[in-house]
Amino acid sequence: YSLVWLEEVSSTQDWLKEKSINCVVVARRQTKGRGRYGRSWQSDEGGLYFSFPLTETFKDEQTLPLAIALSVCQMLEDYGFLASIKWVNDVYIGGKKICGILVEKTKDRTLIGIGLNVNQKRFTESLQATSLLLVSGREYHLADVLLKLLDRIDKNLDLLKERGFQVLREEVKKRLLFLGEEVVLYTDPPTVGILADLSPEGYLVLMTAQGEKKVVSGDITLRG
């Protein structure tokens, strides 16, 4: 893939949708950064915001964000950080969100959008977010971080394509936040259960009062 680096864009996801070019598009700032469920994504200068398309399809789609989240964790480990995967799309460091992943399907492509907090000094308080700078006290070179992350993603997606989720599952489980703990899943009404396992298809296995429940997607938090 070629790399397109923009100063400012509404959203790298929307840019890819409009252009239908197959490239990695990065922006220093986004004026309308988007998160999952129509939420907005604070995209001030200092963060890494990028998107890229996938033209092939994957068997169990919910494994895709997990493979990406794993890549983010592994890249961060290479920098000396300890990061965890909050099922199914987020990466956390020390109880705060460091990275969000957006997977959107168009008619012929899957667009992957990644927002990683790197050099930001502050966030809106309600966000419970952190950055690599806030965790470590030093700044990082955005292009270095990007290239290392793309390399990890490339390797993991190859593994996913060739050998299925099986090989990545153990690595994801090792880094899975709240495993064995009581969590709330934001269904309507909310579901409470013990996060028992990650299924071979990447589903969340919850042990609830009504028995075992497999969940395909959603948002969880620790029951507090």
CB-side neighbour CA atoms (13 Å) of 107: 2
Nearer of residues 114 and 183 to ligand BTN, judged by Cβ: 114
Q: Which is nearer to ligand BTN, 9 or 172 (CB)?
A: 9
Q: Name the residue nearer to ligand BTN (CB basis): 12 or 191.
A: 12
Is 113 a binding residue for ligand BTN by CB under 6 A? The answer is yes
> Do 110 and 64 touch, CB atoms closer than 8 A?
yes
| Closest separation in Å from C-beta 34 to ligand BTN | 4
Q: Which residue's Cβ has the minimum distance to ligand BTN?
A: 100
Write the interaction track for ligand BTN spanning residues 68-97; mark x where CB under 6 A is met and - where it is not: ---------------------xx-------
CA dist 115 and 41 (Å) reads: 8
Which one of 46, 53, 65, 115 is in contact with ligand BTN (CB under 6 A)? 115
**DSSP one-letter string for 44-69:** -BTBEEEEEEE-S--SSTTHHHHHHH
Q: What are phi and psi of 102, to 5 degrees?
A: -120, 125
Strand partners, 161: none
Q: Residue for token digits 């290239």?
A: 147
Coil, strand or helix at 207: strand
Confirm or reject binding of residue 52 to ligand BTN (CB under 6 A).
Answer: no
Span near ligand BTN by CB under 6 A; candidates 5-13, 148-156, 178-186, 199-207: 5-13
Verify binding: residue 34, ligand BTN, rule CB under 6 A.
yes
Structural contact between residues 183 and 218, judged by C-beta atoms closer than 8 angstroms: no
Q: Does 193 bind ligand BTN (CB under 6 A)?
A: no
Shortest gap between Cβ of 99 and ligand BTN (angstroms)? 8
- Packing angle of the helix pair 142-163, 63-78 (nearest 10 deg): 140
- The answer to the question of residue 30 lying near ligand BTN (CB under 6 A) is yes
212 in Cβ contact with 78 (< 8 Å): no
> Which positions touch ligand BTN (CB under 6 A)?
11-13, 30, 33-36, 39, 41, 49-51, 89-90, 100-102, 113-115
